[in-house]
């Protein structure tokens, strides 16, 4: 569903991962599920993560954007923000996702914007607002991730 665009990471984040021998921009993606659904991350920092997803191919039988597809976009964006907040020494694992669906979308792209509600030492919570191409809110979501220390098996 289109080419993966280069994600815009803050330079200090790129430098932090580069010091560990990790090429973050080359490594990063929306994951296998996100790629199948056409999720593209456009901007990523601990303060704000922006991504898009096509409605086409992600609908339920009535032709509307599937609520589960909105949940995938929300969890992807919130997880990226949590991972960037936690830094290279932590892994972000989603533990709670809440989605409220406000209106349907039948075509075009939806855009999600994740912003932090809480950024602590062991958890991070992000609000994700998903809107249609006219800027109308389609879904409001909240994701909480556990931030755990990286272990050798990771």
Q: What CATH code is carried by the domain that includes residue 145? A: 3.10.129.10
Tokens read off for 34 = 């996100």
Residue 75 catalytic?
yes
Rounded to two decimals, the pTM is: 0.86
Q: Which position among 75, 127, 133, 149 bears the catalytic label?
A: 75
Residue 78 contacts residue 34 (beta carbons within 8 Å): no
Q: pLDDT tens-digit profile of 136-150?
A: 999 999 999 999 998
User: How much is the mean pLDDT over the chain?
Assistant: 89
Residue 1 included in any domain: no
Domain carrying residue 59: 11-149
Q: pLDDT tens-digit profile of 2-21?
A: 444 566 677 887 888 788 77
Residue 6 included in any domain: no
């Amino acid at each position: 569903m289109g080419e993966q665009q280069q994600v815009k990471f803050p330079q200090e984040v790129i430098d932090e991962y580069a010091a560990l021998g990790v090429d973050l921009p080359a490594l990063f993606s929306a994951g296998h599920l996100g790629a199948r659904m056409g999720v593209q991350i456009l901007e990523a920092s601990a303060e704000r993560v922006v991504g898009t997803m096509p409605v086409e191919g992600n609908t339920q039988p009535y032709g509307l954007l599937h609520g589960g597809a909105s949940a995938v976009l929300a969890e992807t964006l919130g997880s990226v923000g949590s991972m960037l907040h936690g830094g290279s020494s932590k892994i972000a694992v989603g533990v709670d996702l809440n989605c409220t669906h406000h209106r349907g979308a039948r075509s075009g792209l939806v855009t999600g914007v994740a912003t932090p509600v809480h950024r602590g030492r062991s958890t991070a919570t992000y609000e994700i607002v998903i809107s249609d191409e006219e800027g109308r809110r389609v879904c409001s979501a909240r994701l909480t991730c556990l931030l755990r220390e990286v272990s050798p098996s990771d």
